[in-house]
Structure 1
């Protein structure tokens, strides 16, 4: 698995560099790579890669996210997760927008074969300062479909229902070379009242031109996790970024 993921992580950096060179005036983003390998008394491998791209035009703003996480200890896989998300915003004015968003996650140890959702709604950047600091709130409705690893107690192999989505993002430029980022998102089931919430907090600091170091902490809570799965999962990561 390590050999399979290493080219993927390298590919994220190549794609980011190529995209930035193609049209630096419209695209911004970052490629993120983290690797930790230990041998001796403990043999462990941790790999993380992520790509975040944003195209900001006069009327439209689109964002694409991809992330992969893999951990192995004593030749046993302990974590394996892949995430994809895309959102398109149609700007009503400088602050307000309507959006469409789709997300997909494949987490080997979550109790799901995969999780997916599609939502649409309204958002507002209620506060901005400069180019890098802002507070954005959004709300919408949509649908989610999650395929279970095993049939549940009701004899079903999938969960699907209408949902409401609430989200917030706060970016604050601490200095010209450092940024604080906080992102919150909740999907609330309108039938079963199950809630999936995600919080990610990070701080990054540039150290050489377009390269930066990032420390991040992610919490995910599922109020109705599949049997045998934890309802709360956390992730702490220290990675290197290529920003553009």
Structure 2
């Protein structure tokens, strides 16, 4: 844990050090985001519950653009919990100009079905928007990071240790395309490479229904090159949710 605190302090200082040398003209202060929710409930011979929620907010303050993200997934089948995941992320970007920026990212995930009680990652680095036309966005982020994991009691007893930690190389590739006036396609890859390779891919299509209300279809794939002994390396999630932009 001491290493995690030291790494957090070093990485959080990076954008502030860069601010002194930047000359980019500050923009307006803006705040917005979107909230989405999807649920499936069945009763009778089969009783299942599936709930997916997500809140994604962005705050622009001059040269700074901050993102706050919360996700929750819960699944239950005939009284037995079959899926549970909670995820939170905070990212701060400091813009040098219209294309280049530096970032600091911290995220925390709770997913007991992976054999870990929790996983925390902090990273910092450089981002660049190769395409940003208003209708098409393609940007890449790279930088160093630090990852800390805590195993659950069962996995810790089998493995003989309680925690894992490592420095990682962090990378993000993001592509967004406005297909029509009312629909958008997004593809994002996130990877952390250290003692193992962990990746996340999210592919989604969003279509407006009316006003600020839209329907979102998404396929999410999570990959771990070295899962715990009784776990699979790949998890997939497919969901349909209602999205409200504000």
Q: In 1, Cα distance between the equivalents of 2:230 and 2:108?
A: 22
Q: Does 1:145 align with 2:148?
A: yes
Q: CA offset at residue 42 of structure 1?
A: 1.2
Q: Is the 8 A contact 1:183 1:201 kept in 2?
A: yes
Which secondary structure does the structure 1 equivalent of 2:36 belong to?
strand
Which secondary structure does the structure 2 equivalent of 1:225 belong to?
coil
Which secondary structure does the structure 2 equivalent of 1:141 belong to?
strand
Q: Is the 8 A contact 1:112 1:226 kept in 2?
A: no
* Unmatched runs of 5 consecutive residues or more in structure 1: 1-23
Q: Which residue pairs with 2:136 in the alignment? A: 133
Alignment deviations for residues 195-239 of structure 1 (CA, whole Å, 9 cap, x no partner): 000000000011110000000000000011122111100000000
Spell out the pairing of 1:54-203 with structure 2 (5 A cutoff): 54-130=58-134, 132-149=135-152, 150-151=155-156, 155-189=160-194, 192=195, 194-203=196-205
Q: Is the 8 A contact 2:34 2:57 kept in 1?
A: yes
Q: CA offset at residue 151 of structure 1?
A: 1.8
Q: CA offset at residue 156 of structure 1?
A: 1.4
Please provide the CA RMSD for this pair: 1.4
Q: Bigger CA drift: 202-211 or 149-158? A: 149-158
Q: Does 1:207 align with 2:209?
A: yes
| CA spacing shift, 1:81–1:92, aligned 2, 3 Å | same
Q: Is the 8 A contact 1:127 1:136 kept in 2?
A: yes
Q: Is the 8 A contact 1:214 1:239 kept in 2?
A: yes
Displacement over 2 Å in runs of 4+: 152-155
Q: In 2, Cα distance between the equivalents of 1:178 and 1:45?
A: 29
Q: Is the 8 A contact 1:111 1:227 kept in 2?
A: no
Q: In 1, Cα distance between the equivalents of 2:148 and 2:229?
A: 18
Out of 215, 220, 228, which is 2:230 matched to?
228
Q: In 2, Cα distance between the equivalents of 1:88 and 1:166?
A: 15
* Unmatched runs of 5 consecutive residues or more in structure 2: 1-27
| CA spacing shift, 1:211–1:101, aligned 2, 3 Å | same
Q: CA offset at residue 25 of structure 1?
A: 6.2
Q: Does 1:243 align with 2:242?
A: no
Structure-1-length-normalised TM-score: 0.86
Q: CA offset at residue 153 of structure 1?
A: 5.9
Q: In 1, Cα distance between the equivalents of 2:37 and 2:158?
A: 40
Q: Is the 8 A contact 1:124 1:138 kept in 2?
A: yes
Q: Is the 8 A contact 2:29 2:62 kept in 1?
A: no
Q: CA offset at residue 160 of structure 1?
A: 0.1
Q: Which residue pairs with 1:9 in the alignment? A: none
Q: Is the 8 A contact 1:96 1:123 kept in 2?
A: yes
Alignment deviations for residues 85-128 of structure 1 (CA, whole Å, 9 cap, x no partner): 11100001001000000011001211000011000000001101
Alignment deviations for residues 152-181 of structure 1 (CA, whole Å, 9 cap, x no partner): 666211110100011111111111211101
Q: In 2, Cα distance between the equivalents of 1:152 and 1:143?
A: 25
